[in-house]
Amino acid sequence: MPAQLSSAVDLIAQLNRGETSSVELTEGCLQTIATQDPNIRAFLSTNADAAIAQAKAIDEKRKAGQSVGKLAGLPIALKDNMCVTGVKTTCASRILENFVPPYDAGVVEKLKAADAVLVGKTNLDEFAMGSSTENSAFQVTRNPWNLEHTVGGSSGGSAAAVAARMVPLSLGSDTGGSIRQPAGFCGVVGMKPTYGRVSRYGLVAYASSLDQIGPFATDVASAALLFEVISGHDRRDSTSVDRPVPASSQTVEQPLTGLRVGIAREHFAEGLDREVEAAIQHSLDVYRSLGAEIVELSLPHSKYAIATYYLIAASEASSNLARFDGVHYGHRAAKFDNLIDMYSASRGEGFGPEVKRRIMLGTYALSAGYYDAYYLKALRVRRLIRSDFDAAFKRCDVLASPIASTPAFRLGELVNDPLAMYLSDIYTISANLAGIPGLSLPCGLSSTGLPIGLQLLAAPFEEEKLFRAARMFERATEWHTKRPK
């Protein structure tokens, strides 16, 4: 089997045994990108020379018997909303088209300390606003399983890059499902940690009370390893939590005894695709066969999740994106009459339609006279949604649900209907509102050959349990071994 097709965990073993080198792996990835990416378009940029140089240095370190990091020599891709010193960070927006950050994000520092090799930056919906990666100002990413279908979003480039084995690992950000949903659509593992677990220093903010960075990988154990590397306290992110990071990569192979898998009746309501429902029911059978107890419960406020999320996310976005004014950062219009005109021309030219829609929605929701009716009310409902989960996790260890009501939809199918696109986030956004960890893993294929994802959620800071429960399922099934042609 070509090294390229192995999981990150297997690749590390191969590197340690001297069966391959980081240079060989990195060149292999760059070669796959060169052949596959013209069709898929997952990458916004690659840094081949720097990557090879980094790989060489790590190979030498290993050869010299020096101690190396946990990801030593492994190629990785980053969603293009994370800052890397000297590397363009565009957020797939015209307004940041030429932004080159002078510093590394917290997660990038950790990846470098772990000796990972940064090969490139991946496509996303502009400023991570979207569910299909079609809102990128630069290109549309296509699903490796079927080029006529979307990859999901907003971290679609990172999901596709792993699905097409262009890299073994990548990072995405998840504000309302942007790691888990594209992972589901692309047949890979994607995980959103507990809010506060991973530093967001150097992540371009979309909605700060919801944003979280997390891993993509081909399998659960590799995702657990990457999660472990990027987690931990960072005083530069005031929401970062100072708690010990679980050794998930060590414990992931230990099955959980007496596992209780919760299912919420609201998650199996109308609108759920029959094949998706069948795959989830089959997944529950797998858990039963492993000795788990299935617990039926209710999340009564989940019907308000979409409205709550889109009010809070847009409100925070309108505030966060105020900094892109043609003065501090990014694009400035060439022609203007006065200062106000310069702001509006720069922002008018720099932002795409979905970003403008969110800024207007959020500005409206926050304005005097509407604040109590919309924003404040949304915060109160958010608390109720969190309370539903608190109650649920008294009765179960993990909650299982679909990741989306259908497999990957077609390119162009929803992009001109913003409300339909927002509604497609129904299964993922509650976890962000509640701040809890969630994971998506492959659990089936549709009759048309598209991946179906199983979502597992856990109580805050129970990532270790989440990975172990996911690995039990993965071990008992073959879905993670299926690959796009």
Comparing CB distances to ligand GLN, the nearer of 126 and 397 is: 126
- Shortest distance, position 416 Cβ to ligand GLN, whole Å: 15
d(CA 212, CA 439): 13
Contact positions with ligand GLN (CB under 6 A) in 420-439: 425
d(CA 342, CA 159): 37
Contact positions with ligand GLN (CB under 6 A) in 169-198: 174-178
Whole-Å CA distances, 110 to 72, 91, 226, 444: 12, 21, 10, 34
Question: Is 222 an active-site residue?
Answer: no
Structural element, H or E, at residue 14: helix 8-16
Comparing CB distances to ligand GLN, the nearer of 79 and 347 is: 79
- Shortest distance, position 185 Cβ to ligand GLN, whole Å: 12
CB-count exposure of residue 124 (10 Å: 0-12, 13-18, 19+): buried
- Shortest distance, position 402 Cβ to ligand GLN, whole Å: 16
Question: Is 367 an active-site residue?
Answer: no
Q: What angle do CA 409, 431, 478 make, to 5 degrees?
A: 55
Comparing CB distances to ligand GLN, the nearer of 71 and 313 is: 313
Only one of the segments 125-133, 270-278, 321-329, 464-472 lies at the binding site for ligand GLN (rule: CB under 6 A); that segment is 125-133
Beta strands in 270-310 (DSSP E): 293-297
Catalytic residue among 170, 178, 231, 405: 178
Q: Collapse the DSSP code of 121 into the 3-class scheme (helix H, G, I; strand E, B; otherwise coil) and give the result.
A: strand
- Shortest distance, position 376 Cβ to ligand GLN, whole Å: 20
Q: Which two tokens stand for residue 253?
A: 């192979």
Candidate residues 28, 101, 130, 330; the one interacting with ligand GLN per rule CB under 6 A: 130
Only one of the segments 128-136, 217-225, 236-244, 447-455 lies at the binding site for ligand GLN (rule: CB under 6 A); that segment is 128-136
313 binds ligand GLN (CB under 6 A): yes
Comparing CB distances to ligand GLN, the nearer of 15 and 91 is: 91
Comparing CB distances to ligand GLN, the nearer of 21 and 135 is: 135
d(CA 300, CA 313): 21
352 binds ligand GLN (CB under 6 A): no
Contact positions with ligand GLN (CB under 6 A) in 138-157: 154
Catalytic residue among 21, 136, 154, 315: 154
Return the DSSP state at 255: P
d(CA 19, CA 317): 47
Question: Is 79 an active-site residue?
Answer: yes
Only one of the segments 127-135, 197-205, 362-370, 477-485 lies at the binding site for ligand GLN (rule: CB under 6 A); that segment is 127-135
Q: What angle do CA 295, 299, 300 make, to 5 degrees?
A: 135
Catalytic residue among 6, 7, 21, 79: 79
d(CA 111, CA 227): 11
Instruction: Kindly give the pairing relationship between strand 260-264 and strand 293-297.
Output: parallel
474 binds ligand GLN (CB under 6 A): no
Task: Collect all residues with Cβ–Cβ distance below 8 Å to 160 and sequence separation of at least 6.
Answer: 40, 42, 122, 141, 142, 143, 144, 151, 166, 182, 186
Binding residues for ligand GLN, rule: CB under 6 A, are: 128-131, 154, 174-178, 206, 313, 425
Residues labelled catalytic: 79, 154, 178
